[in-house]
Structure 1
């Protein structure tokens, strides 16, 4: 039950207490009391007139008790003119009154029919507990500030609405994936695991279709099992918030790449992540209306188990490990045909790809992602014949890296630098803040190879080829740059690793975010000289350097690049110790 102290709550505005009391008693009596403003009221704060008489409401914001209250009410009784009312209801702010005191007041004012018409603070709190009074608690903001009850509920509800809103773009992706998705045995096995354990971990090779499986599983629960809510989350705390709503709403939750995109990532960790996940798994059975779907690359999952071995037993028997070789030839063909059907290719190109299907389907490197990427993003060039296009698709499926190498070699130096900054940032990065500032710094050190004023043109050069500019998946209205897919991110990380000696000092000196320096120090095989320089910057500039994450699971799920640079100094020290 709420436990408001109404004397304190309305200390700045007694008239608001009168209005609040009028609203409560109106609901209790099933009528609407006329309210009166400040000033001489003739012992009337609220009035209801009906055929059977006049009911007067008097409101006292007082904590007086005993003789003091009796004296106050004697003065009040003198102000009640004969014939003014047929019934008198008294509301006072005192938490409670003894029954004897209530009876004495009733005898003093005969128009009080019984002691139930003497309403105290404990009575008001009792009313607010009932659903028909909920709108009153919402209307009077003074109540929010003096008790966490409604405020916490409101904030939680607001956060969930924002989370649902943030998940909405994934519905479009879900519809897109559904049109090209081919159901496999792994899909049915995932449903069985979800029905048995309420959670499943989908792991597997890059490009095998983990996210597609997760979204299509969510679609299955929404459309077939009639689940009501879909959440695409980015932290364990968001899952805890959904579960904390104590709602009967049937919800399906997807946590994509929950331990990192291309490696076991510090940017994806919360403090006590292992304990939080274990606690989550232990209590999940108490929430039968929730289904949890996690995705991760298999080697990232194994890296995570090295850090959190106690989680391995909880995940292994509830895991689906997708393998490229698990797709049958018929399934590979159906994936190709569905993507062809969704493409914008002219018929002659579709026919040529169909005729070249044997080379595509029998490629040892075949993956659903490679087929999807090429048919969606690589349109026939000027003068490119249909057979040439089909041969290029087959070559790409056989070796995407060769295609990326060819495209990357043709990029300007400035565009390459942008790709490198994006790679060491680990996740999407804001275009007109962190990325632009970082690029300007690196451009200064490039000896004219990258031109500052060409920044926007470099972005156009990359758009739809390697990267995309879009609204953040974490924060709407924030414009970010990200790679088109994880395969391109993998390529860039591999490229940078192979050529790190050419770029290490430029990046070490000019990267302007702490996580970029940390990534270089921990994930790239930089020289001893560069490593020493990185450690020196992380130590001496840690209070100045920010993280580039638009959204990060570091320490606090709401931590973002807009936080003060020294907000998470202790976490930076912890990361610095890991490097040292």
Structure 2
């Protein structure tokens, strides 16, 4: 296993060598900064100077550069006169190179074995007894596995294209903070972790690295931002309970969440409960702290549920960081962005790095911004620190200079067009269509060249990124702060907002830019004059679904839309009005069967195709199916009801069997305490000693039997709502197999001791400056 030392900056490599040499020599080594120590990197005793270790992270430097650097150490050693001098370097050296270096330092070395090359370092770390050191240096080993080569494997990473699009950059810029270590510890114990914090503090990159860590340990990774369909996610997890899986639910309290119906709030709790009960599942939720606080106000009962044992969630607020973690993030960005020496000196001068680390507006996203060479290319080295400080003093202005001075009008129009379409990702082709429709009216834009591609090439990496998502190319902002910035600009610039609305080519743009009342008024007008048919949609399926939804809810009677209705019914589905705002198919079906709409569009003729009707009814789950059948039954003429009864009964039977297949025990509100106590048996140990102990198998059996009775009652209640002629025989339920899963997990979870440690981590303690000074003064 060849570990990836190039992923470490020079400070991280020094930390690694400190761990290696301390274990190798059996002594505790301390670190020192250049200038203070006269050339010491690591030492055992500052007064005796028995052992000195020099660390050289010269992985990209040729051998002559390393030799030249080492020669400068000779006068310092002659003054310090250690008993033993060691060199650790991140290069593979030839025997001749080792001999030359040993000759230089032979007075202070026992043998050339005191020269530790990359080969010796790697041999040491790959021994099983040293795995603890490897595990402590995340960036070192994550690339040594094959996991990053497997990021497009659907067997390991499911729906993770967006999440892992920049992973090869992320792994380099990631810093293993106290919050990350705490998150791993908590997730191992608690199974469900909630990461919150201010925008830009590192919630996403921390979540990515956690799931990668789990992936290297054999876990399958699932990623979703779709809080509107958590039941489907849970069903997917339930298909293989033994499979090790970790789920990342991104932006779990975003705006889409607040548009959920109450049952979907329960779905989130159900998912949490399921994971907490499952030995092989882990769940990460993340959300901005402001949105989490909003959730505490808008859905207080849901958030309070996180304190209950069955829905227990460990909460980590990443907003509070220790000084040392802030310094590591700053240094790491400067190092891997290859910030030139004179620019770095302006940060070292007068210990300016302390002012950055201690700034009340310190934020990793601002550090990422100011360390990007593209951002400071026209800033002189003497003003680099002032450049950083200016952005920290005015964080809301971070993007102003870029947006107003560096971008052309066309580039800004592409950014605002993307913003108007999505908060996450949109089809690249769809963005292209909407952008081109918008610039058509601009006489100053040369349409003989491909403005979209030209603008895209200028904006990529700095503002937008392209992701290959399920063989479809999508476009998104490089990070959420750009979305926040553009939202702020548009909300305070009525002229720009008006232009976006007036040139909108997609209904999705109008849905985002207008108030609900304004949107409805605009849509009613578009449906009345037929211009809705000219709007762009991401797909024809999305077009007919939206048109059918709006017609059914607003009783629009216009034969131009009849074919859209028939097309929708032939492939009935839930409708995303905007991103994750979902209208359920059963509600659309209900509105379509309103007598006035039903008769005007001659839907009765369409539903006379009983094969099609059976396909439509088969889409619904049992609860919605009962409603759908009742709607149809009330409208069908008597001569058609006989065939409908036959079809309806078959579909109902199939729905009941699906409902009873793999019933999750955790979906039921059971008093496990009663079942466990009722299963207890007296166990004798001899010498008149005995105790009552629960019989787990008996408890499980009783729970399963209780759930089966509950399922029969639930199904019976649903079926009682059917018309008399559609009722199933009394013996039908006796033949249905009810498969209950998860009862064992319920019992084991109940018997598991409850950990009463603090479940709310709010940052690390502050550090003194010595470690930070050491980092920047090497």
Give the structure-2-normalised TM-score: 0.45
The aligned counterpart of 2:431 is: 435
Q: How much does 1:202 deviate?
A: 1.0
The aligned counterpart of 1:506 is: 499
2: CA distance, partners of 1:439 / 1:172: 24
CA contact (8 A) 2:203 2:286 kept: yes
Q: How much does 1:357 deviate?
A: 1.3
- C-alpha spacing 1:546/1:293, structure 2 compared with 1 (3 Å): farther
The aligned counterpart of 1:328 is: 322
2: CA distance, partners of 1:538 / 1:330: 59
2: CA distance, partners of 1:270 / 1:173: 34
Which one of 384, 387, 390 corresponds to residue 395 of structure 1? 390
Which one of 380, 384, 387 corresponds to residue 385 of structure 1? 380
The aligned counterpart of 2:38 is: none
The aligned counterpart of 1:460 is: 457
Question: Match of 1:363, SS?
Answer: coil
The aligned counterpart of 1:422 is: 418
Count of aligned pairs between the two proteins: 392
- C-alpha spacing 1:207/1:437, structure 2 compared with 1 (3 Å): same
Taking the TM superposition and a 5 Å limit, the aligned residue runs for 1:153-302 are: 161=154, 164=157, 166-167=159-160, 170=163, 173=166, 176-223=169-216, 226-235=217-226, 236=230, 239-260=233-254, 264-265=255-256, 272-302=263-293
CA contact (8 A) 1:349 1:389 kept: yes
2: CA distance, partners of 1:435 / 1:168: 19
Q: How much does 1:535 deviate?
A: 6.1
Question: Match of 2:242, SS?
Answer: coil
1: CA distance, partners of 2:261 / 2:208: 24
1: CA distance, partners of 2:402 / 2:324: 32
2: CA distance, partners of 1:457 / 1:173: 22
Q: How much does 1:538 deviate?
A: 7.6
Question: Match of 2:187, SS?
Answer: helix
2: CA distance, partners of 1:482 / 1:420: 12
Structure 1 residues 82-119: Cα deviation after superposition (integer angstroms, max 9, x where no partner): xxxxxxxxxxxxxxxxxxxxxxxxxxxxxxxxxxxxxx
CA contact (8 A) 1:198 1:284 kept: yes
Q: How much does 1:211 deviate?
A: 1.0
Give the structure-1-normalised TM-score: 0.59
1: CA distance, partners of 2:339 / 2:199: 26
CA contact (8 A) 2:211 2:246 kept: yes
Structure 1 residues 212-256: Cα deviation after superposition (integer angstroms, max 9, x where no partner): 221233244345xx3432333343356325412324232222222
Asked if residue 353 in structure 1 is aligned to residue 369 in structure 2, the reply is no
Which runs of 5 or more structure 2 residues have no equivalent in the other structure? 1-151, 554-574, 583-778
2: CA distance, partners of 1:340 / 1:238: 43
Q: How much does 1:302 deviate?
A: 3.8
Q: Which has the higher contact order (CA 8 A, sep 6+)?
A: 2
Q: How much does 1:308 deviate?
A: 4.3
Structure 1 residues 108-158: Cα deviation after superposition (integer angstroms, max 9, x where no partner): xxxxxxxxxxxxxxxxxxxxxxxxxxxxxxxxxxxxxxxxxxxxxxxxxxx
CA contact (8 A) 1:508 1:533 kept: no
Q: How much does 1:332 deviate?
A: 1.0
Q: How much does 1:424 deviate?
A: 1.7
CA contact (8 A) 2:161 2:467 kept: no
Q: How much does 1:419 deviate?
A: 1.3
Taking the TM superposition and a 5 Å limit, the aligned residue runs for 1:5-154 are: none
CA contact (8 A) 2:296 2:303 kept: yes
CA contact (8 A) 1:258 1:268 kept: no
CA contact (8 A) 1:408 1:416 kept: yes
Q: How much does 1:519 deviate?
A: 1.0
CA-atom RMSD in angstroms? 3.8
1: CA distance, partners of 2:275 / 2:410: 49
CA contact (8 A) 2:251 2:287 kept: yes
